[in-house]
Amino acid sequence: MVITNAKISYICGILPSHKINNYDNELFSDRVKSRIIKSSGVENRYILNRENGESILDLFIKAGQHVIDELSWDRNSIKGIIVISQTHEYRFPVTAALLQDKLGIHNNCFAYDIVMGCSGYTYGLFSAMSHINSTSDRVLLFVGDAINDFVYPKNKSVAFLFSDGASCTALEYSEDENYKNTFAFETFGDKSQLIIAQDGGNKNPISHASFEEFVDDDGNINIAACMQMKGIELFDFMCNTVPNSILNFMKNNDFEVINTEKFFLHQANVFALKEIARKLNIVDKMEELMPINIHKYGNTSCASIPILISEQGEIKSENVLLSGFGVGISICSLYIAKLECSTKLLFY
């Protein structure tokens, strides 16, 4: 699917205020902590400061205000707000409606939420760009998760990995048709059980049993209200299915790895990212072509790609590949012919 004339003008990532050192986790022995931290490379994580009432909406508001101010956009010129998240301020209404109010955007705009996880940023860009035209010319895309709401602290497979995080991306119409964006999607619903929170939805409403501990197939202590992740199968998916999907996408659209200036991939697992780089044959230039920051901020779910890009400063690149993959199980890749925008990473 190809969308033209849609330009990314600004990308702002934001991390919450509470920084945690994984070595301070008191639920595991020093030996276990050292082994997990060494293998993942994630020493520090960022979570919402619940004691101070911090929420995902607060992060969205700060990022949104920053983007609007930096671009000097008239709030009346913004035609729509889209929020991509698995965590919402309330059960209802949608978070996008709250942002319309908090950011002072006029009433004559669309505002809606989409529930997506690790592939959420690229899916969000598809949704936002689908609205862009000469009359619907400015859209704000908010992507982020308070993913630690679904992480059980005794589950060693996930307790050291995830950070909360959010982002705001400004998109606008451009008459320059070199702003060409090509999308590819793959969905593997038969693998949905690889990452799942069993309780809390319509099938299994929250109950007392949702908080009873059990030991999963990998020997992790968990509860049904929190994330369950089948690490071995998921790792295989990331190391094999994901790079094959990216390579097929590029081949089918005559995109060349050698001509691609940047690869921004979901920061899921450092070893999987290196394996993807190996299959793309860019290991020797990985630092230049495919930045990794999971060791600094952990896995920030759907916010990982915009947070990664937010560290780049001013971007003026051609032929840029973005790929989000994970919970669903889904893959959404995007090849951007021309990416020229400002970026900023904030801390709440």
Residue in the block written with tokens 């071995």: 232
Residues with Cβ within 8 Å of residue 123, at least 6 apart in sequence: 84, 114, 116, 324, 330, 332
Low-confidence ranges of the chain (pLDDT < 50): none
The pLDDT value recorded for residue 40 is 85
Q: Are strands 214-215 and 221-222 parallel, antiparallel or unpaired?
A: antiparallel
Q: Are strands 165-173 and 180-187 parallel, antiparallel or unpaired?
A: unpaired
pLDDT digits (tens, 9 = 90+) for 2-44: 999 999 999 999 999 999 999 999 999 999 999 999 888 899 9
Measuring CA to CA, which residue among 43, 50, 51, 48 is closest to residue 21?
A: 43
Q: Is 173 exposed, middle or buried (0-12, 13-18, 19+ CB in 10 A)?
A: buried
Q: Which helix (H) or strand (E) holds 187?
A: strand 180-187
Identify the bridge partners of residue 82 per DSSP, sorted by sequence position: 112, 141
The pLDDT value recorded for residue 218 is 87
Report whether 111 contacts 99 (CB < 8 A).
yes
Pairwise CA distance, residues 248 & 253, whole Å:
8
Q: Where are the domains of the chain?
A: 1-190+251-348
Pairwise CA distance, residues 238 & 155, whole Å:
21
The pLDDT value recorded for residue 139 is 98
| Structure-token pair, residue 135 | 């009359």
Helices 56-71 and 95-102 pack at an angle, to 10 degrees, of 50
CATH of domain 1-190+251-348: 3.40.47.10
Buried b (16+ CB within 10 A) or exposed e, 223-254: bbbbbbbbeeebbebbbebbbebbbebbeeee
pLDDT digits (tens, 9 = 90+) for 268-323: 999 999 999 999 999 999 999 999 999 999 999 999 999 999 999 999 999 999 99
pTM for the model: 0.97
Report whether 348 contacts 68 (CB < 8 A).
no
The pLDDT value recorded for residue 39 is 84
The pLDDT value recorded for residue 318 is 96
The pLDDT value recorded for residue 303 is 98
Give the C-alpha distances (Å, rounded to integers) separating 143 from 12, 35, 56, 106, 203.
Answer: 10, 32, 10, 21, 26
